[in-house]
Amino acid sequence: MPDTVPTPSSPSLNSQIQNQNQVTEEIAVAERLRNMALVPSPTVNEGPLFAEVDMGADASAPTIRATVVQAATIFYDTPATLDKAERLLAEAASYGSQLVVFPEAFIGGYPRGSNFGVTIGNRTAKGKEEFRKYHAAAIDVPGPEVDRLAAMAGKYKVYLVMGVIERDGYTLYCTVLFFDSQGHYLGKHRKIMPTALERIIWGFGDGSTIPVFDTPIGKIGAAICWENRMPLLRTAMYAKGVEIYCAPTADSRDVWQASMTHIALEGGCFVLSANQFCRRKDYPPPPEYVFSGTEDLLPDSVVCAGGSVIISPSGTVLAGPNYDGEALISADLDLGEIVRAKFDFDVVGHYSRPEILSLVVKDHPMSPVSFTSASGKAESSHK
């Protein structure tokens, strides 16, 4: 029997031809679609479709060089202390610092160990004379010493945060002054709650001097020493958007470091704490100046060990704490770190519950005396 050969009229041959035509048409359609595509399809050898994202530093978030000064006042000698402040400021600026923070009461002095002759119901004549000399070493705000500090800031092109003893009439305040890098005085913060015997010699600040200054290098504010342990004061500063939180202090204990780390984490801000490093010889010798309750202090005995420190918003210690002596303690502050920290915890933002917990701050001056002129305009005795 001869082999059967399909003819053109065979159904199987017709089916094969139709299938071949269909495949040819599909190839042609696909080719036209490729030619019309906005983004050509990559070949296997062209690499990944999406480039890797660069997670490096954000160019929009600047890095600021900051220094905290750990040094002692020249007690009862304000002109000499101002000279020392300028030498330290010049040195910090030579290292590229843009912000320099000095300790609590650097100008005017922290009267460590002195009780000004006070017991309950009595004040001694010697204690009153000590206060007279301490009052004389304080500065007026505004005043010539403030003008000189402003000139220093402008000369060395730095933002300056300076602890001073402010004289307002016959009352003294523990105060921080702020200056910009153009040599302008920005304002002040008065310590709102002096600690223990400090209340005998210093007045109380009010809500009108809790500033946070918005500057090109960040939002700068300050709280002094144990004010930093006041949750409501801290909350007020956070609400004002503080980014560089300055904490001039006289506390050199180890537990102070725990407070500074907590504030950095709580506020999502950089914390710059500056303290004096002092020896007994940095104060006048006895009997002119006596450290009450302390015996056998030698001239080189350390009476304040410093502990100045700079901490990031993530709680990382960037510089310090230093307990070795007078020093300039510096670090570079990546302001982008603030945003990264706030993503985790924003105490006055997404982590707040204002319908449950809220704070009211009375930020107007509290004056003991007000005068009303003939025009009806009220005038305050408060500076």
CA distances to 67, 311, 325, 372 from 274, rounded to whole Å, are 9, 12, 13, 43
State the burial class of residue 154 (Cβ atoms within 10 Å of its Cβ: 0-12, 13-18, 19+): middle
In this structure, the number of other CB atoms found within 10 A of the CB of residue 94 comes to: 10
Residue 256 CA, distance from chain mean position: 16
Closest of 54, 140, 160 to residue 100, by C-alpha = 160
Distance CA 92, CA 103 (A): 15
Residue 315 CA, distance from chain mean position: 13
Choose the catalytic residue: 25, 26, 91, 104: 104
**Cβ–Cβ < 8 Å for 188, 210:** no
- Cross-strand partners of 64: 333
Tokens of 88: 């330290």
Closest of 75, 109, 76, 74 to residue 88, by C-alpha = 74
104 is catalytic: yes
Distance CA 256, CA 250 (A): 10
Catalytic sites, residue numbers: 104
